[in-house]
Structure 1
């Protein structure tokens, strides 16, 4: 990445950013907010993310074959928009009405929906960890690494990867299994995640990692 003639990768590396994280032996696949609201025309959160859904669905199938735990996150709000604790977040982003109780846009997209035995986490903020028991659930399963695939890169994926690191899990953000409203926003956030908070890998690299655990 180059900005104003500067090679940012070299610039960041010279300052000590961008180190690599260990790949543990007990990963989980964290599938962040694969909701219909990102895919259906007329939704205020509609985004061009069909391709990354295909990639994430293939990765989920691979994780199931290898008995890697799958965690699905979803967002749900009460109809009262002034209800705590998320009233300020909901005021900031009007499109969050998609996630109100009873709105079908908040349902899982059929290509990426939980099955029996998968963990489902309901949240009200960007991070899958904030205000939930996800960290305790993962620690209880002995998980040491989380593969993160979801929507959107600049929002809930980024927040979840950061909090995964803070809770002691090595976050591996799967670049082509995440998406955003604009590719420039997607790429900028992947760059910053790689520099500071996570390892950014491809789905092919994620599959190789899972295969190496057999």
Structure 2
């Protein structure tokens, strides 16, 4: 069964009036070559995210960062840490500092601590964004198939317009990245290119 435009999928949620940039888990564990979740060639995604953050700051749009952090012994990690044992690198007593952000927030930019894939699950993110009048969430970070996807999907579930920036996300392979972006664009978010996102964010 198809929709009014001849397809069951790939409608657009579009941009609202008040965007925020949410940088998902862009930490050393993913961006450094010897990190436990090291990605192949994360540099372009980091650079694209930095451009988006700079544009948002210049225009006075909110920027929110997320990190994964567990208590010593992983007591608050639930079954997720059993499924993905390398998450132990994000315990407070773990060595290596892998949970440190690759790019640095400025004073006043919230850093949301999470234990699961979505930046919205079990956190104050939705309340923070709603209180700030945000209606559009520009999603960047890592990984495309994991925490980016979960965050974009939950953004839609919480009534925000998710915009996932293709060049500002990264994954373990180009195939995973591209396939997940295609599926997100079909069902849960608008996948946009960096120039469009920058033009929407800039004053």
Supply the distance in 2 between the matched residues of 1:205 and 1:98 (Cα, whole angstroms): 35
Mapped partners of 1:157, 1:163: distance in 2: 10
Question: What do you get for the CA RMSD once the two structures are aligned?
Answer: 1.3
1:114 alignment counterpart: 105
1:31 — aligned with what? 23
Q: Where in structure 2 are the equivalents of 1:9-28 lying within 5 Å?
A: 14-28=6-20
CA distance in 1, matches of 2:128, 2:181: 26
Equivalent residue, structure 2, for 1:6 = none
Q: Does 1:62 align with 2:52?
A: no
Aligned partners of 1:194 and 1:41: how far apart in 2?
A: 30
- Tell me the CA shift for residue 78 of structure 1: 1.5
Note the C-alpha offset of 1:209.
1.3
1:14 is displaced (CA, Å) by 4.3
| Displacement after TM superposition at 1:40 (Å) | 2.2
CA contact under 8 A between 2:68 and 2:90: conserved in structure 1? yes
Report the CA distance between 1:22 and its aligned residue.
2.7
Of 159, 172, 175, which residue of structure 2 is paired with 1:181? Answer: 172
Equivalent pairs, count: 196
SS in 1 for 2:98: helix
Match of 1:71 among 51, 64, 73: 64
Q: CA deviation at 1:191?
A: 0.3
Partner of 2:132: 141
| Equivalent residue, structure 1, for 2:147 | 156
Q: Residue 3 of structure 1 corresponds to which residue in structure 2? A: none
Q: How far apart are the structure 2 equivalents of 1:22 and 1:55?
A: 21
Give structure 1 regions of 4+ aligned residues with deviation exceeding 4 angstroms: none
CA contact (8 A) 1:75 1:123 kept: yes
1:44 alignment partner in structure 2: 36
Query: Counterparts of 2:201 and 2:36 in 1: how far apart (Å)?
Result: 36
Distance in 1 separating the partners of 2:63 and 2:193: 18
TM-score scaled by length of structure 1: 0.88
Matched residue, 1:10: none
State the TM-score, normalized to the length of structure 2: 0.93
Unpaired runs of at least 5, structure 2: none
3-state DSSP of counterpart to 1:23: coil
The answer to whether the 8 A contact 2:29-2:38 is kept is yes
Aligned to 1:4: none
